[in-house]
Amino acid sequence: MEMKDEIRVEAARAIVWEALNNPEVLKTCIPGCESLEQVSESEYVSLVVVKVGPIKAKFNGKVTLTDIVAPASYKLIGEGQGGVAGFAKSEITVELIEITPEATLIKYGVTANIGGKIAQLGSRLIDSTARKMAEQFFSRFNEQVCPAEIVAETAAEGLGSEVCAGELREWLGELSCGDQILVTMVDVVENETQEQQNTIRSTADQLKKSDLFGKAFSRIKRSSTNIYQDIARALETKTTTQPPARETPSQQTTGTPKHQAAVVTINRAAQRNAVSLAMWQELGRIFTVLGQQPQVRAIILTGAGEHFSAGADIAEFSKVRATVEQGVEYEQSVDACCDAIAATPKPTIAVINGFCMGGACHLAMSCDFRFANSNAQFAIPAARLSIVYGVRGVQRLLALVGVSKAKHILYSAQRFSAQQGMEMGFIDQVATDPIRAAKSYAGVMADNAPLTISGSKVLLNGLTMDLGTLTTELVDHVVNVAVGSADYRDARQAFVEKRRPVFVGK
């Protein structure tokens, strides 16, 4: 078994280091730990009760600390015996990175070998149990090292828990569904930290493994090779003019520019964020409006509380989806919402915790990226309701996972985990704190040229979803707009001047 992850703790690195070396703190935080004693400066013995599926056993363990570089990193070598239940040997690397004087990033990697009866349960169950225990550990660890008011403040920030105000209200007006959808703005700045570099590499590696575009393009190419010729011709034949260079913005001399992302939160936690018809209609409008604002460089979609969304609000189906005519109108509203999310020129990220079911999967698939907590569960249970999932949702599912896995998801209506979703290409990244990972990645994209992102999105959406709309004229338009932009002129000048270009989307 192998597992890697990272978590931000709102405490100074020295405090985090001290807590990670305190037997009493560790005993409190380790799930099922009955005893933990330090027998030397670098050795501990423990007794931990572990339950994996139907098997529950007590493991007597020994842990040795090596490669200690205080207060930055160490390695733990562990061995545990659980009698007939089995044995475990593990190697854990821990690294502490100071983000700010009052915040620390904990990065850890686990490699373990497991034998005995527990090993016979299968890697999926073992992996999910290990991830659940890791989440429980860090949740308790946060409570130990962070003051309560900071934990509450951080949680509120992660959820985006304020109703639209000020500038947002001017853009969006009053929402017809009230506070069932919340919109906030957050700062996202590209910092050349190891955390962000790993996020980029992880996302790129996972996309490569899923062969997302390779699968989609191979199907498209067989029926429409002329599109590739159109794009190639458009890219090869453009000529550029040399208008006067624009004035250098003040940000070019004041360091890294700050950008903002919008966080859209489905806020019906008591109903597991089930989406009503009014919410489907408002979500599409919100993404359309946010996509028109130059200040918004990315949009993050998430859910309040423990879940992303349980999907469509089935409780209201007797009123809004009771007849064939109402069913058609309902599907049109869902498709219009998801098409609006997919069409927004801004990069979009779905941040998923807990349940993401049925129509919620369509919402998530409409975003450019999907970042999930390891506790996330996915399913499209249309086959258990005698409903045929809409053509747009099926198109997006097909583009992500391929025809065989799409059939399995739709025919079986079975749930799948975040890890399984990542393996099949449905999920881009699994993280302990997916909202922070999403903000970090949004910061990376926000510093790039908006016209490149929006133009690329038009082409990719056309190639995977709407072949009939991707005409030569449209290809020419998005390429010409970028080549004739002030952003392009500034980028050329920035290259000559060896500075970072400042993109404004014009």
Query: Which amino acid does the sequence have at 171?
Result: W
Q: What is the pLDDT of residue 277?
A: 93
Q: What is the pLDDT of residue 274?
A: 93
Q: What is the pLDDT of residue 147?
A: 54
Confidence of residue 492 (pLDDT cuts 50, 70, 90): low
Q: Which segment of 15-19, 250-254, 409-413, 498-502 scores lowest on mean pLDDT?
A: 250-254
Q: Could you write out the three-class secondary structure of 214-257?
A: HHHHHHHHHHCHHHHHHHHHHHHHCCCCCCCCCCCCHHHHCCCC
Backbone angles phi, psi at 116, to 5 degrees: 90, -160
Q: Could you write out the three-class secondary structure of 105-172?
A: EEEEEEEEEEECCHHHHCHHHHHHHHHHHHHHHHHHHHHHHCCHHHHHHHHHHHHCCCCCCCHHHHHH
Per mean pLDDT, which of 51-55, 211-215, 339-343 is the most reliable? 339-343
Grouping H, G, I as helix, E, B as strand and the rest as coil, residue 462 is helix
At 96, list the tokens: 């502490």
- Segment 51-75 mean pLDDT: 88
C-alpha closest to that of 442 among 286, 299, 257, 292: 299
Checking phi first, is residue 413 left (phi over 0); if not, alpha (psi -120 to 50) or beta?
Answer: left
Q: Which segment of 154-158, 375-379, 470-474 scores lowest on mean pLDDT?
A: 154-158
Q: Which segment of 51-60, 252-261, 489-498 scores lowest on mean pLDDT?
A: 252-261
pLDDT digits (tens, 9 = 90+) for 242-269: 444 444 433 443 444 578 899 999 999 8
At 256, list the tokens: 């890294």
What one-character DSSP code corresponds to residue 100?
E
- Segment 347-354 mean pLDDT: 96
Q: What is the pLDDT of residue 45?
A: 92
Query: Which amino acid does the sequence have at 472?
Result: T
Instruction: Tell me if 319 sits within 8 A of 283, measured CB to CB.
Output: no
C-alpha closest to that of 199 among 501, 433, 30, 362: 433
- Segment 263-289 mean pLDDT: 93
Q: What is the pLDDT of residue 476?
A: 66
Q: Which helix (H) or strand (E) covers residue 423, if one does?
A: helix 418-424
pLDDT of 364 strictly over 90:
yes
Report the distance separating Cα 61 and Cα 81, nearest Å. 6
C-alpha closest to that of 272 among 308, 302, 300: 308
pLDDT of 292 strictly over 50:
yes
- Segment 50-72 mean pLDDT: 88
Per mean pLDDT, which of 86-90, 170-174, 350-354, 436-440 is the most reliable? 350-354
Burial 53-71 (b: 16+ CB within 10 A, else e): eebebbbebebebeeeeeb
Average pLDDT over the chain reads 79
- Segment 375-399 mean pLDDT: 87
Residue 161: is it exposed, middle or buried by C-beta count within 10 angstroms (0-12/13-18/19+)? middle
Confidence of residue 138 (pLDDT cuts 50, 70, 90): confident
- Segment 489-505 mean pLDDT: 74
Percent of the chain with pLDDT strictly greater than 90: 33
pLDDT of 270 strictly over 50:
yes
pLDDT digits (tens, 9 = 90+) for 87-124: 888 888 999 998 888 888 888 888 888 888 888 877 76
Residues 6+ apart with CB under 8 A from 433: 6, 7, 8, 158, 373
Strands 87-100 and 259-266 turn out to be unpaired
Instruction: Tell me if 164 sits within 8 A of 182, measured CB to CB.
Output: yes
Instruction: Tell me if 310 sits within 8 A of 279, measured CB to CB.
Output: no
pLDDT higher at 501 or 249: 501
What one-character DSSP code corresponds to residue 312?
B
In degrees to the nearest 10, what's the CA dihedral of 438, 299, 338, 281? 130
Q: Taking the mean position of all CA atoms in its chain, how far away is CA 247? A: 37
pLDDT higher at 349 or 325: 349
C-alpha closest to that of 370 among 390, 341, 394: 341
Query: Which amino acid does the sequence have at 96?
Result: L
Residues 6+ apart with CB under 8 A from 405: 424, 425
CA distances from 121 to 45, 63, 85, 116, 169 (A): 27, 25, 11, 10, 53
pLDDT of 436 strictly over 50:
yes
Q: What is the pLDDT of residue 466?
A: 64
Query: Which amino acid does the sequence have at 384?
Result: R
Q: What is the pLDDT of residue 282?
A: 93
Backbone angles phi, psi at 37, to 5 degrees: -125, 140
Q: Which helix (H) or strand (E) covers residue 199, if one does?
A: helix 194-210
pLDDT digits (tens, 9 = 90+) for 206-236: 544 444 444 444 443 444 444 444 444 444 4
Instruction: Tell me if 7 sits within 8 A of 432, measured CB to CB.
Output: yes
Percent of the chain with pLDDT strictly greater than 70: 77
Residues 6+ apart with CB under 8 A from 16: 9, 71, 96, 104, 106, 145
Grouping H, G, I as helix, E, B as strand and the rest as coil, residue 378 is strand
- Residue 257: is the preceding peptide bond cis (ω within 30°)? no
pLDDT higher at 506 or 42: 42
Q: What is the pLDDT of residue 482?
A: 65
Report the distance separating Cα 369 and Cα 350, nearest Å. 6
Q: How far apart are the first and last CA of the chain?
A: 49
Q: Which segment of 148-152, 272-276, 280-284, 462-466 scores lowest on mean pLDDT?
A: 148-152
Instruction: Tell me if 280 sits within 8 A of 340, measured CB to CB.
Output: no
Q: What is the pLDDT of residue 470?
A: 53
